[in-house]
Amino acid sequence: MKRYNDKTMNILKQIIRRFTKAQNTPMTKDQLQNLIAQTKGKYFSLAFEKNNGDLRVVNAREKDLRYISGGENKLSDSPYVSVFDRNKKGWVSCRPEKVKKISCGSTVNFIG
């Protein structure tokens, strides 16, 4: 059995506390938008529960300028957050409280 020093144990405890706390509280729209903004334009993985109960995982980006046609965002006042799905080459909207996981690179930002 591997033995960890005190510093490593404290870091592991903080990670476990953060994920345990995140699992008990649903995400708000502002929190999700802040996590998406932290990706700084990179692609990220977003897993969320659809309205019919299915799980959808998208490889998304906050916005892709190549696919913006100049219209207005009609979802800005709604409870939905829209992101650009790279594989579908279209916009996807989800409710923040239905988000199960968001990750960018090797870091996992939220597990709910």
Q: Do 98 and 49 form a contact (C-beta atoms < 8 A)?
A: yes
Residue ranges with strand state E in 1-112: 44-49, 55-61, 81-85, 90-94, 99-104, 107-111
Name the residue ranges covered by the structural domains of the chain.
Answer: 28-111
Residue 47 has pLDDT above 80, yes or no: yes
Q: Which 3 state secondary structure label does DSSP give 107? A: strand
| Model pTM score | 0.68
Check residue 6 and give its pLDDT.
Answer: 76
What is the percent of the chain where pLDDT is above 90?
Answer: 15
Q: Quote the CA–CA distance of 38 and 104 in Å, as a whole number.
A: 9
pLDDT in tens, 61-89: 887 656 566 666 666 678 888 888 988 88
Q: What is the dihedral of CA 78, 80, 84, 90, to 10 degrees?
A: -80
Q: Mean pLDDT of all residues in the chain? A: 78
Tokens of 30: 């502002």
CATH of domain 28-111: 2.30.30
- pLDDT band with cut points at 50, 70 and 90 for residue 1: very low
Q: What is the dihedral of CA 51, 53, 58, 62, to 10 degrees?
A: 30
